[in-house]
Structure 1
Amino acid sequence: MVKVAERRKMENKIKHSTTFMTYYRCALMEIETKLKVLNEQYSYLEDYNPIETIKTRLKTPESIAEKMERRGLTYSFENIEKEINDIAGIRVICPFISDIYVVSECLLQQEGITLLEKKDYIKVPKDNGYRSLHLIVQVPVFLQNQKRMMKVEIQLRTIAMDFWASLDHRLSYKKEMDPAITQQLHAELIACSNESARLDERMEAVRNAIDKRRSIRDWKMRNSSSALNNDEQKKAK
């Protein structure tokens, strides 16, 4: 009962501390804006969007307090900022695997962003088949003439990876399901993860083949146009 009371007390403190959550909300806005500008830049310069969608979320006070209890942390704002990295979360959905690494590299090169932690579950998937690139970054937030470095968790994945993760998340909350059936479905999900990974690779190969042929076509058109201009200049002389 004491632990429950302490958790409820922490939840209420977070709820009534609007400034505390505002810093995390502003950190999300900072990262989201940088990603949108990056996507717009690629659209203008390359005629291509490496980002399909961007989703943001803030953990609720209840979820924050529950995570602190689960990890055995003393309830304090200091411990929240120091120990919990995913209060502010942003999910970036990319068309292809290579886009994930392009976006992450471009983002981390931007001024003001500090990489704290990187976990590549694409190159080394989790045992359950989960695939994504996870980044924990710090970004400066200025409020009322005060600067604070706030953490944001960024998850980058393909459309197929996101679809798989949504289904895995749904299964993890079906506690009432028969354990034997749950185990069978988890095995099926692992197989689906492997198949979707192969699909991502095949789709990227097709995209690369299309781009290569387009580049060859453009090169031929430029050379043909250049040769035509040279012939016209010779005739004019």
Structure 2
Amino acid sequence: MTTLPVDDAAIAEAKRLRDAFQRFLREYEFGMREVETKISILRDEFTHLHAYNPIEHVKSRLKTPDSIVEKVARKGIDADFEVIRGEITDIAGVRVTCSFVTDVYLLFDLFTQQDDVTVRAVKDYIAEPKPNGYRSLHAIVEVPVFLSTGPVPIPVEVQFRTVAMDFWASLEHKIHYKFAGRVPAHLVQSLTEAAATAGELDVRMERLHREAHEINQRALQA
């Protein structure tokens, strides 16, 4: 078996690229944690000052290196970190699941009005659902990450949705994954109808919540 000579320069370059990629992803991890902290503070404030928690749960995810490379190839952009930062805005993602639609918009406003949060784009799929029924409020924001070398603005995709929207989206994703994106037409139709049902549930549950609150307030004032 022939052993090929070791190219020290090639190895050094590969290690440099590996380390640069790790630093690049670490910045996104820090940005994601900044957003998580801001959401956590809002949740704790509501819990202690208003005796009400509008957030059911928060999930975060960071794209894998393979996923980033695949998206770079699909978009046909240069494999340059600054180009990637400008063109791919969902490397870091935070999903905030709320109890009601009013909570979604309230938290979105409170979060995006903070001085160090810069809104780059908003897509309101609650006001205008996707054709398949998908509903959620998406925002691409920039938050500063303060490193030893100075602040770096990091884009983070933040999604706000209700429990019903989250349940539907999770099921829809599983079905599409099972069929590798080629879902039978009758299942697509059923999913769209289920999305409408989930929307009706959101409206009904929020109305019940409001009525319960009003009854409780009247009882306290009696």
Kept in 2, the 8 Å contact 1:132–1:157? The answer is: yes
Matching of residue 23 in structure 1 with residue 27 in structure 2 = yes
Kept in 2, the 8 Å contact 1:14–1:20? The answer is: no
Partner of 1:122: helix, strand, or coil? coil
Aligned partner of 1:212 in structure 2 is 214
CA-to-aligned-CA distance 1:53-82 (integer Å, 9 cap, x gap): 000000001111111111111211121101
Aligned partner of 2:156 in structure 1 is 152
Q: How does 1:2-151 map to 2 (within 5 A)?
A: 13=17, 17-151=21-155
Kept in 2, the 8 Å contact 1:15–1:61? The answer is: no
Kept in 2, the 8 Å contact 1:160–1:196? The answer is: yes
Q: Distance in 2 between matches of 1:198 and 1:175?
A: 28
Identity, in percent, stands at: 41
The Cα shift of 1:16 comes to: 5.4
TM-score by length of 1: 0.83
User: Partner letter of residue 191 of structure 1?
Assistant: E
Partner of 2:158: helix, strand, or coil? strand
User: Partner letter of residue 200 of structure 2?
Assistant: R
TM-score by length of 2: 0.89
Aligned partner of 1:202 in structure 2 is 204
Q: Distance in 2 between matches of 1:77 and 1:109?
A: 28
Q: Superposition RMSD on alpha carbons, in Å?
A: 1.9
Q: How many residues align?
A: 209
Partner of 1:17: helix, strand, or coil? helix
Aligned partner of 1:189 in structure 2 is 191
Q: Distance in 2 between matches of 1:191 and 1:159?
A: 17
Partner of 1:128: helix, strand, or coil? coil
Q: Distance in 2 between matches of 1:20 and 1:200?
A: 39
Is the deviation greater in 210-219 or in 35-44? 210-219
Bigger radius of gyration:
1
Q: 1:45 to 1:176 in 2, by over 3 A?
A: closer
User: Partner letter of residue 42 of structure 2?
Assistant: L
User: Partner letter of residue 203 of structure 1?
Assistant: M
User: Partner letter of residue 174 of structure 1?
Assistant: K
Is the deviation greater in 68-77 or in 198-207? 68-77
Kept in 1, the 8 Å contact 2:78–2:84? The answer is: no
Q: Distance in 2 between matches of 1:163 and 1:174?
A: 17
Q: 1:214 to 1:64 in 2, by over 3 A?
A: same
Q: Distance in 2 between matches of 1:187 and 1:50?
A: 32
Q: Distance in 2 between matches of 1:176 and 1:35?
A: 34
CA-to-aligned-CA distance 1:66-120 (integer Å, 9 cap, x gap): 1111111121112110100100000001011110011111111222001111110
Partner of 2:134: helix, strand, or coil? coil
